[in-house]
């Protein structure tokens, strides 16, 4: 599955415990990553400073669903369960 450009759910919904440039302590669940631009695209995509957790995340139908809202709902639920 290819990432839906402009979705941004994986950069908003989950907590990220590793350091992110501009968010050295990571980010809480539901907080927009500072590296997410106005078009919901990652400013660090393809750059070496992008956190490993972000590089390793691969979109899949069971997490991303078929809409941006489904992705947000699914990731919110996974976050709640963990």
pLDDT, tens digit, 9 for 90 and up, residues 38-69 = 999 999 999 999 999 999 999 999 999 999 99
pLDDT at position 62: 96
Report domain extents, the chain. Answer: 9-81
**Do the beta carbons of residue 26 and residue 15 sit within 8 Å?**
yes
pLDDT at position 46: 94
pLDDT at position 79: 95
Torsion of CA 36, 53, 45, 23, to 10 degrees: 40
Spatial CA neighbour of 18 closest among 49, 43, 63, 42: 49
pLDDT at position 42: 97
Q: How far apart are CA 64 and CA 27, in angstroms?
A: 20
Distant-in-sequence, close-in-space partners of 66: CB < 8 Å, separation ≥ 6: none
Handedness of CA 55, 47, 16, 38 (dihedral sign): negative
Q: Express each pLDDT in 5-14 by its tens digit.
A: 999 999 999 9
């Amino acid at each position: 599955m290819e990432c839906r450009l402009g979705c941004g759910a994986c950069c908003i919904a989950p907590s990220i415990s590793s350091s992110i440039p501009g968010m050295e302590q990571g980010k809480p669940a539901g907080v927009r990553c500072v590296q997410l631009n106005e078009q919901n695209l990652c400013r660090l995509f393809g750059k070496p400073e992008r956190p490993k957790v972000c590089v390793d995340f691969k979109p899949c139908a069971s997490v991303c669903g078929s809409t941006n809202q489904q992705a947000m709902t699914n990731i919110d639920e996974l976050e709640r369960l963990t």
